[in-house]
Amino acid sequence: MEDQVRSGYLLTADPKRVDFGRVHRWLAEESYWAANRPYDLVARSIEGSLPYSVFAGGEQVAFARAVTDGATFAWICDVFVDETHRGRGLGKWMIDTILADLSDRGIQRFLLATKDAHEVYRRSGFEELAGAHRFMEIDRRPTRNAILGKS
């Protein structure tokens, strides 16, 4: 994917540009799904994924990553836009770019999970998981109850 520029923002898939400290702070301190996640775990998750970042004036203001086999499937996760830059379409821009980039590589199936942003992702073509009853999981995350909205 080539870098893209829109309204003063730069979107890139260059893993060398990721501000690991900032992304760690967003995920560990501001997200519900990765609360208190250690720095080394965030770093390893980014290194094992395809990261996408948005910058404004050299400062990272948004992040998402795709976990993929590179052929058939991709899980889009850790989508985060800094609070001061929300409402400008950056999340949708990242998601649409990820979908286009990975579709160009031949990937046809995409999955993501959200507690409260269903409408945002519907605008990019996502819909409720068909056949959800067929999926099984083991979920040992300490944030599982928060993710599922349970006490």
- What digits encode the pLDDT tens for the residues 67-77? 999 999 999 99
- Taking phi first (over 0 means left), then psi (-120 to 50 degrees means alpha), and beta for anything else, what does residue 96 get? alpha
Q: How far apart are CA 81 and CA 90, in angstroms?
A: 7
- What digits encode the pLDDT tens for the residues 3-59? 999 999 999 999 999 999 999 999 999 999 999 999 999 999 999 999 999 999 999
Q: In the chain, what are the domains?
A: 4-147 (3.40.630.30)
> What secondary structure does DSSP assign to 1-53, as a single string?
---EEETTEEEE--GGG--HHHHHHIIIII-SSSTT--HHHHHHHHHTSEEEE
Placement of tokens 């979908």 in the chain: 99
Q: Containing H/E element for 116? A: none
CB-CB neighbours of 25 under 10 Å:
14
